[in-house]
Chains A and B, each alone.
Chain A
């Protein structure tokens, strides 16, 4: 049994969700190969991951679903399972490859029971489905928050170049990627997240100071993103990012089920909200009923002064 894991790189590093996908592959057992579509430096970073016996590398400036899915289909004959992290990129590519292989993919796997049985959340995480696949190959996306990532180093896998075709129907035009010194949402140990209660985009920046003090990432509820207070990639929830940090601080977030779906596996949850009946308090370990515009500056100060 050999497993292929699609590994996402960035500037000569491997993204943390891909290291979680490797942890899921390790649960399946067997030989594991990595596939990196991107730069040589990204492939070299993947080769240093523990547990890989080979890294396949295809050079492509911009990752597009069509050629990467075709590449996976071309390679798939050698593999029993093909895994990707359930990131925007993994979700874009893997189902396309699955359809070409006549396989029903299994999205957002949170638990590997055996080589054909998996657990995945449905209905915004309000239920967990245990499913068995009858397909000859299994194509899975892995929910990163459910698997502790493998370390970034410890291995020395050989790299083999594989050819990739240019995309015929789709072309990259441009990207607007926000660069931040803060940790990525899906990799952060602490997340400070704001909701509609932040009231406007300017106020939303109140969270920056707090996040920097804690070494935290900044997240947002859908309401805050829809209202334009925060960019789309901040969104935590059923249709945004799924996170499980050590500490999640929800500020001015009421706690719609769709938001809870994205953060309720956090180890410790803090909620600050002026509405004592806000549903967020039902999942919070520590709740503070307070106006966030006084509580957030006070929290900044208390963190600076705390022994």
Chain B
């Protein structure tokens, strides 16, 4: 079984983003970029399935500017076998991403596609579900455990109130939650080896996909900031303030 994993290049997890002065977007110039953390979990899960003999090949896919090749190299250094870059000037909306991934999936015929449940830049949490819909495949979103048994995926999902386990026929879509695994760091020898692994470059035009955006970003603003309050010296003072000043207990 071939596994396709989708990796997005995003502003690094540890960066506190700033809104641009003209309110057109957040500032991404000169900011550290990394693989979306949920996508690292997706890559790791694919590698573990391959290590258990359940997958034959892992193809990593990224969509966006040429610099996304770096994100693909990271996936290759972790253990993916080859990369596909769909190159375009900007990272498109989830609907367009889902259409592009569908087009790649139709060429590659994977048995499983694993994606992060959300990207930490737009926080949409939509691409996996949309891709599943477009392919007509079942979906196991927010996965915290994945097993492949007899050509089906048994997936445990993080839901409101606890956990739920579903059985999905393959091919299927999995989106990763935090508890699925802890991604490995790429070793230096593997980083060197990854340089020799192939990355194919495609375009939306070559895949015949319309990526025109549906949403217009009118403005980006800072959220109202909270002012730091006061420090209290004792538990008694805290309780007194909560009762008499804040009146919340």
Contact = CB atoms under 8 A, between A and B. Distances in A.
B61 to A, nearest CB: 18
Interface in B139-156: 139-142, 144, 154
A282 B217 contact: no
A153 interface: no
Q: How large is the interface on A (under 10, 10 to 19, 20 to 34, 35 or more residues)?
A: 35 or more
Nearest to B92: A104
Q: Most A CB atoms within 10 A — which of B157, B215, B223?
A: B215
Interface in B13-48: 13, 16-17, 19, 26, 38
Contacts of B50: none
B166 A64 contact: yes
A61 to B, nearest CB: 13
Contacts of A124: 120, 123
Contacts of A125: 223
B94 to A, nearest CB: 7
B90 interface: no
Contacts of B162: 175-178, 231-233
Nearest to B159: A88
Contact of B158 (A94, A102, A169, A232): A232
Interface in B193-236: 213-223, 226, 228-236
Contact of A267 (B94, B165, B216, B248): B248
Interface of B: 11, 13, 16-17, 19, 26, 38, 93-95, 98, 117-118, 120-127, 129-134, 137-142, 144, 154, 157-169, 172, 177-179, 213-223, 226, 228-236, 238-243, 246, 248-249
6 contacts: A95-B126, A125-B223, A132-B215, A176-B164, A268-B248, A285-B230
Minimum-distance CB pairs A-B, first 6: A169-B138, A99-B130, A285-B229, A95-B126, A99-B133, A104-B214
